[in-house]
Amino acid sequence: MSLSSYIRYTFRDAFRSIGRHKGMAFASILTIAISLFILGSTLLLVLNSQYLVSTMESQVEINVFMQLDLDRQDALAFQKNIEKIPGFQSLEFVSKEDAMSIMQDRFGKDTDILKSLAGVNPFPDSYRVKAQSSESIAAIAAEIEQFSEVESIRYGKELVDKLLDFTVWVKNVGMAIIIGMLLAGLFLITTTIRLTVFARKNEISIMKYVGATNWFIRFPFFLEGMLIGFLGAVTAGLIIYFGYGSTIQYVIKSVPFLPVVADFNELYRILAVLIIGGTTIGAVGSVIAVRKYLKV
């Protein structure tokens, strides 16, 4: 048999086999789709949890209040000291006049804050400092606090500590869930493919007895497994794609302050992983499952 004839035969046999065993093929596709849907949904959940944490981290600021009697020029020059600290990301200078204006806006036009304070502005010049990560906030605050020009520092230590704990928890739990779902999916997919091959064990034995080589027998199963895995992965991908799109639109309208990953490039990467993974698992699972019945 020529190579082209063999390739045509294997593809024809793979599609013919799926047609003859529609129920088993459908069960295999459904199992793969469910397994990959659970895995993909878990990946999206972990991705959004990490995005929520990173968004919260970016909003944490270190408020550095300068000494009240510090000259404005010296207060502005202090910026260089902050910029030299490892882990520093950005800063914003808030003058005492700006601080008074912010406070006035909070109380509204009906109350003259400066007049009620006898014309004395009690606010110092200050800086709003952001760190590159939440892990470096405490170290940056401690280093800034050592300077004599600084009166006090506030950055919500308890909030930062809870945020750090939550970050570690999300990473650990997310990894555990992903690994657990991956193992469960692999088990379900491999088991279902084994049942498909078991239903055709007599056919495999006959082909073996008439002299067919192992790869001659195995390759149609390999293609069949690839096709089943691909169809299952595409099914799961379509459900995730449209389901996630609808969920994102609902969250944005109903809970606009909740940060979610709206960049579909991340979704496309996950879908690509699911499709490649499902196709590969289907092919490898078929090869492994049929190996047992080649020993006759």
Average pLDDT over residues 164-176: 76
Percent of the chain with pLDDT over 90: 19
Question: Is the full-model pTM beyond 0.75?
Answer: no
Alpha-carbon distances, residue 230 vs 45, 59, 143, 190, 195 (angstroms) = 23, 42, 56, 14, 18
- Decide if pLDDT at 235 tops 90: yes
Which pLDDT band holds residue 51 (cuts at 50, 70, 90)?
confident
What are the strands of the beta sheet with 126-131, ordered from one edge? 88-94, 126-131, 62-66, 150-154
Specify the DSSP class assigned to residue 126.
E
pLDDT value of residue 155? 80
Q: Which of 102-111, 220-229, 232-241 has the lowest mean pLDDT?
A: 102-111
pLDDT value of residue 14? 62
> How far is it, in rounded angstroms, from Cα 153 to Cα 102?
19
Average pLDDT over residues 142-146: 91
pLDDT digits (tens, 9 = 90+) for 88-125: 889 999 998 888 888 877 766 666 676 767 777 888 99
- Domain boundaries, given as residue ranges, for the chain: 3-56+163-294, 61-155
For domain 61-155, give the CATH number. 3.30.70.3040
> Tokens representing 189?
């997919």
> How far is it, in rounded angstroms, from Cα 15 to Cα 192?
18
Ramachandran angles phi, psi of 262, nearest 5° = -100, -5
> How far is it, in rounded angstroms, from Cα 205 to Cα 187?
26
Residue pair 49/258 in contact (Cβ under 8 Å)? The answer is no
Helix (H, G, I), strand (E, B) or coil at 85: coil
pLDDT value of residue 17? 65
- Decide if pLDDT at 20 tops 70: no
